[in-house]
Amino acid sequence: MVDPQWQPVPMDLLQTANSGPRKKRPRKMEASLASTPHDIKFQDLVLFILEKKMGTTRRTFLMELARRKGFRVENELSDSVTHIVAENNSGSDVLEWLQVQKIKASSQLELLDVSWLIECMGAGKPVEMTGKHQLVVETDYPASPEPGHQMTLPLTAKQISPYACQRRTTLNNQNQIFTDAFEVLAENCEFRENESSYLVFARAASVLKSLPFTIISMKEIQGIPCLEDKAKCIIEEIIEDGESSEVKAVLSDERYTSFKLFTSVFGVGLKTSEKWFRMGFRTLNQIKSDQSLKFTRMQKAGFLYYEDLVSCVSRAEAEAVSELVKEAVWTFLPDALVTMTGGFRRGKKIGHDVDFLITSPESTEDEDQLLHRVINLWGKEGLLLYYDLVESTFEKFKIPSRKVDALDHFQKCFLIFKLPYQRVDSGKSVQLEGKTWKAIRVDLVMCPYECHAFALLGWTGSRQFERDLRRYASHERKMILDNHALYDKTKRILLQAESEEEIFAHLGLDYIEPWERNA
């Protein structure tokens, strides 16, 4: 049954709204994707496309497309295969799959991301394999030191950068007692709109997260950047007393606890929280029962699905949503690239929402209408509890914004998705008695292919990593970076990039993997 809150997208919105016909690259798709004989042009390459995380329909489409271009593509994995192509899999994922299939991987076997194959399709021939194409075989994170044993610090204080984009910050936080305190203080400053103090605590938390050792004395923080006097005082008090009196005061402060509660509702920001606090409200029940208050559509949905939305989204739930997003997107745009971004891309096991970046290597009118069609499909299937579709205001070749936290101008949809429990692996999702689904916050972002690398970098986060990356670009390189482009102010040109690695190279930075951006 279709959810009564869902409203279909008007058909007139499904028509192209721009004033003139869009330039469209030719793309021919035959009605049937059944395999037909094709001349093999490139005898040295034998491809196998992995179905895992890709799906049968998309795999079949890519296999047929590659064969039409003259590539030899095997239906089954054999000793003759020279290249395995995968999507949304790491090198470790592919090797694990090979082990399950009881296939020994040859050292000569190339493990490649689907982006390499798509570039080959565009060029009509094999393109050079670079680092951005090759799948990484990840190693385990270093274990935390045993209690009572100090890990040796490989860096001196002078070698620790004041920029998060020059530090490798994994989820292995060895100074959580300090960083938790700073994050409470930073959040309180944000609620009070005190930007300067917010940055003091946010940067202090960020630099301590990157340290490969646990601070046990004040001597160990000498010379470490981003630690101003007020931050050092907090550290000293925690070392001596085990806690911070300032943090305790904030946690018991009525204004802080009220703002924390109010902003936990989807659609409620600082201005609304301030208004409710001044009106004397302290609980959500007081707010919901007041007949004089008018709520936005977003806030109504936030209250209606509150319990689900404030609970954490597990990795298994995020993967289940990912499969449904891909199924829907590929129904209308089979060659689309769909990437889960945000904390889950950085390796987190839990989150509060799931973000996806969508793009297509071939520019067609279908891109503009994709999110409309996905929304209509989910509405008919009863999977849509709420949506807010924001149309694109993106202008090609526009100089990036100078604002550190500037919002991008891509088409996007903020929605609440109805995830059926049966789509989640058993045992990995907490099911409430009598309930068959969970409401989950999902963001879909549609960007032009030429902006994909910049958008992927921006939507991966973390927030402090992105702030420092843009600050570094401006202060150290005389460049402006945002989710759309990178502009060199000295040369007065936009710098092109097809991957995150190329953006880092333009900035003169060592590449930082997504799982090392948890700043």
Tokens of residue 270, six digits: 């600082």
Pairing of strands 479-481, 437-446: unpaired
Whether the upstream peptide bond of residue 462 has omega within 30° of 0, thus cis, is yes
**Cβ count near 4 (within 10 Å):** 6
- 355, 408, 468, 482: the catalytic one is 355
What whole-number distance in Å separates Cα of residue 220 and Cα of residue 210? 14
353 among known catalytic residues = yes
Handedness of CA 385, 390, 391, 397 (dihedral sign): negative
What whole-number distance in Å separates Cα of residue 408 and Cα of residue 162? 26
**Cβ count near 302 (within 10 Å):** 22
- The answer to whether 334 and 61 are in contact (CB under 8 A) is yes
- 93, 113, 353, 468: the catalytic one is 353
What whole-number distance in Å separates Cα of residue 117 and Cα of residue 85? 7
- 253, 366, 388, 443: the catalytic one is 443
Query: What string of DSSP letters covers 64-91?
Result: HHHHHTT-EEESS--TT--EEEESS--H
- The DSSP 8-state label assigned to residue 422 in this structure reads G
- The answer to whether 37 and 400 are in contact (CB under 8 A) is no
- The answer to whether 58 and 65 are in contact (CB under 8 A) is no
User: What are the catalytic residues?
Assistant: 353, 355, 443
